[in-house]
């Protein structure tokens, strides 16, 4: 079995992956195939249990007959016609049957017997969800390559709109916003001698009900009680400025010596925060009312959540690789015109780069159901004393680090100004005082074997040199175990000391 597929199975079901121990009934197959076709495509793997245990199918089964049977089910129950690929793979003597579905171009796909309005399914997380009317209409837009924000609002008069907020932004860039420019950006359309605004223009001016953002500073690391909260409406450009100021007011500012100059920096690079907020405005779902962008500031993270998962044709892996797919094309054009967007598809890489340069942990980006969730890490769990080394470079080390600790360990502890760990990451370091498998770690943490958890509770600690693999030459070794390094043990000890003094 190729290691890529094995990694997928270990990570669990997702937007593009579903497991069945045995071949399900016709309707269940059809709904999954339809949901994959309407979303990002995917694989339905027969022979794997819900707990990711590889059971295999009957090795004596007639594979060609099985393929014909599944193809007939899909042909009889689905419309328009869907043509998946079928193949098998052998895993330790166990046979898996795989139905691979590609995103279709005749959207929406639906169950024939239920019809388009009631039988359309989409993939949300690891489940199939019946699409509501708005989602069905949006799938039809996708088929003709039109976005919601490009649609014209014939019930709103263009003459009634105050374009001042938008005009000021164009003037600040030395650009003119006239009728021709509005047309070319698809912000207005002329019909029978009258001008009508697009949804994008109303959104940019803050005239749609859900074009808002809610910001809160919470006490501690949970959503228990507020320290401060604000809700911002109005044009999107003013909102961006207000949200940025709210976040700045609740972040620490530190002085950094560069050469002979002192430079003040926020604990998280503001460029990275600004890019995340911008992405939220440009790529969020504006169709469904009652949902808005939420910014939560905790002691350990800044959390930005935007409604609407990733655009249907892409996955989290695509996004992290730099692939760009724009949900709101007209809004994106305006932000690009005003130089808020530098280059399509480069935003995520720049966010990671800014954080890396600042010595901040890599942000966690996940798709949680129908929302995109971004966590930027703050300087929360930190050691206490700053000292100067022999070249004047500022290092942060623990008072408990003795002279007998090896040079390599000292470098591991001090190479970042501060190390950010949450409670479960610390539990992992404590648990791995003896070599542990990833399954043992996740069972102890009581979390699922998901790619997000692998990155958060194992990969992140390995990168921080707080955890090491017992077989570093073969990271994908099925017998791989993890053990806490000396630097990791020092971190745990320092954390315990800090708790005792509280």
Question: Does one domain contain both 200 and 238?
Answer: no
Count CB-CB contacts under 10 A for residue 237. 21
Is the same domain home to 129 and 152?
Answer: no
Strand residue runs (E) in 308-430: 364-368, 371-377, 385-388, 394-397
Short-list 280, 284, 36, CA closest to 148: 284
Cα distances (angstroms) measured from residue 343 to each of 241, 309, 322, 324, 460:
21, 22, 11, 10, 28
Q: Helix (H, G, I), strand (E, B), or coil: what is residue 106? A: coil
The answer on 158 and 109 residing in a single domain is no
CB atoms near residue 324 (< 10 Å): 17
- pLDDT tier at 258, thresholds 50, 70, 90: low
**Mean pLDDT value across residues 140-168:** 95
Please report how many Cα atoms fall inside a 13 Å half-sphere around the Cα of residue 191, on the Cβ side: 12
Number of H helices, E strands in the chain: 19, 22
The residues, any chain, with a CB within 8 Å of residue 114's CB and separated by 6 or more, are: none
As a whole number of angstroms, the distance between CA 5 and CA 7 comes to 5
CA distances from 13 to 52, 414, 449 (A): 8, 38, 10
Task: Report the range out of 98-107, 441-450, 479-488 with the highest average pLDDT.
Answer: 98-107
Cis bond before residue 90 (omega within 30° of 0): no
Structure confidence at residue 254 (pLDDT): 77
Are 61 and 80 contained in the same domain?
yes
Residues 83 and 157 in one domain: no
Report pLDDT digits (tens) over 27-81.
Answer: 999 999 999 999 999 999 999 998 889 999 998 999 999 999 999 999 999 999 9
| 45 close to 17: Cβ distance less than 8 angstroms | yes
Angle between helices 236-249 and 164-172 (to 10 degrees): 70
- How does residue 492 score in pLDDT terms, banded at 50, 70 and 90? confident
Residue 461 CB coordination number (10 Å) = 25
Residue ending a domain, among 204, 226, 245, is 204
With beta carbons less than 8 A apart as the criterion, state whether 405 and 328 touch: no
Quick check: 355 and 361 in contact, CB under 8 A? yes
For 196-207, the pLDDT digits (tens) are 999 999 999 999
Residues 218 and 170 in one domain: no
394: pLDDT strictly greater than 60: no
Q: Distance (Å, rounded) from C-alpha 110 to C-alpha 256?
A: 58
Q: Is the pTM of this model over 0.75?
A: no
359 and 267 in one domain? Answer: yes
Q: What is the pLDDT of residue 11?
A: 82
* DSSP SS3 for 375: strand
Q: Determine, yes or no, domain membership for 382.
A: no
496 or 437: whose pLDDT is higher?
Answer: 437
Say yes or no: 226 and 350 in one domain: yes
Cis preceding linkage at 80, omega within 30: yes
Residue 390 is assigned to a structural domain of this protein? no
Instruction: Say what the pLDDT of residue 411 is.
Output: 43
% of the chain at pLDDT higher than 90: 61
Asked whether residue 385 is assigned to any structural domain, the reply reads no
Range of the domain at 130: 3-143
Based on the structure, what is the number of domains in the chain?
4
Q: Are residues 34 and 152 in the same domain?
A: no
With respect to residue 391, please indicate whether it lies within any of the assigned structural domains: no
**Confidence category of residue 499, pLDDT binned at 50, 70, 90:** low
User: Domain check: are 288 and 171 in the same one?
Assistant: no
Mean pLDDT of the chain: 87
b/e per residue, 97-124, with b = 16+ CB within 10 A?
bbbebebbeebbbbbeeeebeebbbbbb
Check whether 393 has a pLDDT greater than 70.
Answer: no
Q: What is the pLDDT of residue 302?
A: 97
User: Is there a domain that residue 54 lies in?
Assistant: yes
Domain harbouring 450, CATH code: 1.10.10
Distance, CA of 471 to CA of 468 (rounded, Å):
9
Instruction: Please give the Cα distance from 239 to 203 (Å, whole number).
Output: 12
Rounded to an integer, what distance in angstroms lies between the CA atom of residue 386 and that of residue 166? 47
CA 354, 359, 363: angle at the middle one, nearest 5? 60
In a domain, 388, yes or no: no
* 420 & 487 share domain: yes
277/359 same-domain check? yes
Q: What is the pLDDT of residue 452?
A: 73
Domain boundary among 143, 158, 176: 143
Could you tell me if residue 117 is inside a domain? yes
pLDDT higher than 60, residue 502: no
pLDDT of residue 256: 67
- CATH number, position 349: 3.30.565.60
Confidence at 3, pLDDT banded by 50, 70, 90: low
Of 182, 175, 211, nearest in space to 198 by CA: 182
The answer to whether residue 5 scores a pLDDT higher than 50 is yes
Position 317 in a domain: yes
Q: Can you give the CATH number for the domain in which 79 is found? A: 3.30.950.30
């Amino acid at each position: 079995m190729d290691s890529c597929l094995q990694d997928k199975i270990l990570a669990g079901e997702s937007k593009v992956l579903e497991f069945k121990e045995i071949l399900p009934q016709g309707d269940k197959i059809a709904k999954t195939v339809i949901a994959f076709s309407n979303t990002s495509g995917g694989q339905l793997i027969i022979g794997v249990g819900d707990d990711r245990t590889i059971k295999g199918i009957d090795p004596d089964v007639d594979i060609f007959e099985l393929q014909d049977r599944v193809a007939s089910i899909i042909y009889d129950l689905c419309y328009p016609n869907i043509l998946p690929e079928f193949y098998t793979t052998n895993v330790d003597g166990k046979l898996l049957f795989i139905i691979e579905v590609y995103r279709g171009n005749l959207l929406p796909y639906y169950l024939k017997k239920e019809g388009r309005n009631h039988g359309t399914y989409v993939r949300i997380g690891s489940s199939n969800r019946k699409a509501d009317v708005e989602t069905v209409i949006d799938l039809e837009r996708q088929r003709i390559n039109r976005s919601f924000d490009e649609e014209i609002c014939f019930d709103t008069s263009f003459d009634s709109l105050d374009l001042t907020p938008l005009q000021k932004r164009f003037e600040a860039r030395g650009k003119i916003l006239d009728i021709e420019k509005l047309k070319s950006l698809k912000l207005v359309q002329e019909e029978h001698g009258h001008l009508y605004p697009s949804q994008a223009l109303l959104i940019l001016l803050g005239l749609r009900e859900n074009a808002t953002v809610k910001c809160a500073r919470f006490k501690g690391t949970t959503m228990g009680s507020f320290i401060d909260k604000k809700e911002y409406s109005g044009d999107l450009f003013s909102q961006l400025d207000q949200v940025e100021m709210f976040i700045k007011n609740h972040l620490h500012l530190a002085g950094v010596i560069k050469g002979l100059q002192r430079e003040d920096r926020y604990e998280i690079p503001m460029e990275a925060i600004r890019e995340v907020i911008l992405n939220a405005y440009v790529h969020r779902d504006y169709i469904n009312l009652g949902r808005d962008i939420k910014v939560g500031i905790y002691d350990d993270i800044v959390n930005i959540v935007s409604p609407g998962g990733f655009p249907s044709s892409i996955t989290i892996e695509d996004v992290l690789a730099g692939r760009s797919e724009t949900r709101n094309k007209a809004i994106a054009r305006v932000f690009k015109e005003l130089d808020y967007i530098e280059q399509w598809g480069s935003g995520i890489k720049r966010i990671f780069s800014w954080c890396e340069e600042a010595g901040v942990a890599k942000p966690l980006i996940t798709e949680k159901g129908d929302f995109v969730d971004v966590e930027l890490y703050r300087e929360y769990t930190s050691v206490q004393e700053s000292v100067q080394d022999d070249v004047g470079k500022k290092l942060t080390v623990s008072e408990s680090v003795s002279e007998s600790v090896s040079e390599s360990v000292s470098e591991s502890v001090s190479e970042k100004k501060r190390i950010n760990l949450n409670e479960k990451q610390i539990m992992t370091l404590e648990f791995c005082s003896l070599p542990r498998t990833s399954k043992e770690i996740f069972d102890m943490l009581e979390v699922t074997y998901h790619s997000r958890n692998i990155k958060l509770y194992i990969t992140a600690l390995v990168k921080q040199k707080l955890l090491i693999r017992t077989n570093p030459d073969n990271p994908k070794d099925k017998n791989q175990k993890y053990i806490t390094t000396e630097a990791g043990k020092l971190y745990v000890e320092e954390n315990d000391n800090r708790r005792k003094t509280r």
